[in-house]
Amino acid sequence: MNEHVSNPSVHFPRDYSLTGPLNQQAVEIGLANAEWYKTEIPRARMKELMKRSDGPATRDTLLWFGLMILTAAIGSYLWPSLWCAPFFAVYGVLYGSASDSRWHECGHGTAFKTPWKNDAVYQIACFMIARNPVVWRWSHSRHHTDTIIVGRDPEIAAMRPPDIFRLALNLFGLIDFPVALMAMLRYSAGLLNKDEKDYIPESEQSKVFKVARIWTVIYAFAVAACFYWGTVLPLMIIGLPRLYGAWHHIVCGVTQHVGLAEDVLDHRLNCRTVYMNPFSRFIYWNMNYHVEHHMFPMVPYHALPELHKEMLADCPKPYSSFADAYSEILPTMIKQLRDPTYFVHRELPPTAHPFKPAPVPAH
């Protein structure tokens, strides 16, 4: 069983920004750009697991695009009757949630063996999920380098105490999508905030602005089409699915790290592996094997189930389902509203190597 503990030596509220004092503290004590614990796997076996192939991703991508075209076409044909609702419901998840895992895997460059295929799907998926491909490439690189290190990781989904209301609204994209659109307009004007300047090299910043301006034109055409034809249907196909189809990627994403340890150098402490149904695994592209992905991010998504088998004896027990994971996550978030020092400490099996200790600031 996992142990639920508090750490009174950590003082709250904490400054989670990338420009606050905890950024420099993480650098000074060795939490930033640190060496992380890795499960020992024979080199020959790891080489097999890291082998890239176009086959699985090509198959899955053709199926993904085919299902989107089919559901959008039927939904549009039945518009505006209620019979279109189930087709747009499926289209929304394919657009507003599956795109989350596609930008992620193609951003790592591991989904396909052929680089241009990774790049093409990455650009399309980033547009659909409304995440600037340049900003998020560098943001996610930092997330993997300094996973849940306060003051360093720009992708901490639930800070302590958690904003549960915000997470609930984002089930329908009601916070993050408007924020993403405002960021798109800000980038179009050539502006980055302080946190973005911390992890995006100056040489890459002009690319951020160029992509944002192209996206702005696309959204403008979609809005103009709505006025021209007197229907919201164009936005039901481009843009709005990011709202009505966002719920699945939020439900999956919360399981990754929420409620677990901060400022540690062992992914077994700050990531969850959760067994999911085949539909969710297709939408999520096996990111439910999240301990495995963070420990070995160069292993392609289609090999993560095999990597999982190799790591079982060295990792905490996987969660058996969404229900199993959320039976821990929800009470933990509620507890953290009163006690932000509270978190879940993952228990290792007797066959595992001990946790890697993390450096702590001197008091």
Tell me the per-residue pLDDT of 347-359, one tens digit each, with 9 for 90 and over.
999 999 998 788 8
**Which residues are CB-contacts of 65 (< 8 A; sequence separation ≥ 6)?**
none
In the prediction, which pLDDT does 233 show?
A: 98
Residues 116/82, Cβ–Cβ less than 8 Å: no
For the chain, what is the largest distance between any 2 Cα atoms, rounded to a whole number of angstroms? 66
What are the backbone angles phi and psi of residue 346, rounded to the nearest 5°? -70, 135
Residue 178: enclosing H or E segment and its boundaries? helix 176-188
In the prediction, which pLDDT does 254 show?
A: 98
Hey, what's the torsion of the CAs at 181, 185, 190, 193, to 10 degrees? -50
In the prediction, which pLDDT does 1 show?
A: 60
Instruction: Give me the residues of the chain with pLDDT under 50, please.
Output: none
H helical segments located in 30-145:
43-49, 55-78, 85-96, 98-108, 115-129, 133-145
Buried b (16+ CB within 10 A) or exposed e, 16-40: bbbeeebbebbeeeebbebebbebe
Q: Can you read off the two tokens belonging to residue 291? A: 């301990």
CA separation for the pair 224, 57 (Å, rounded): 35
Query: How many helices (H) does the chain have, and how many strands (E)?
Result: 19, 2
Q: Can you read off the two tokens belonging to residue 27? A: 């650098």
Model pTM above 0.85: yes
Residue 3: enclosing H or E segment and its boundaries? strand 3-6
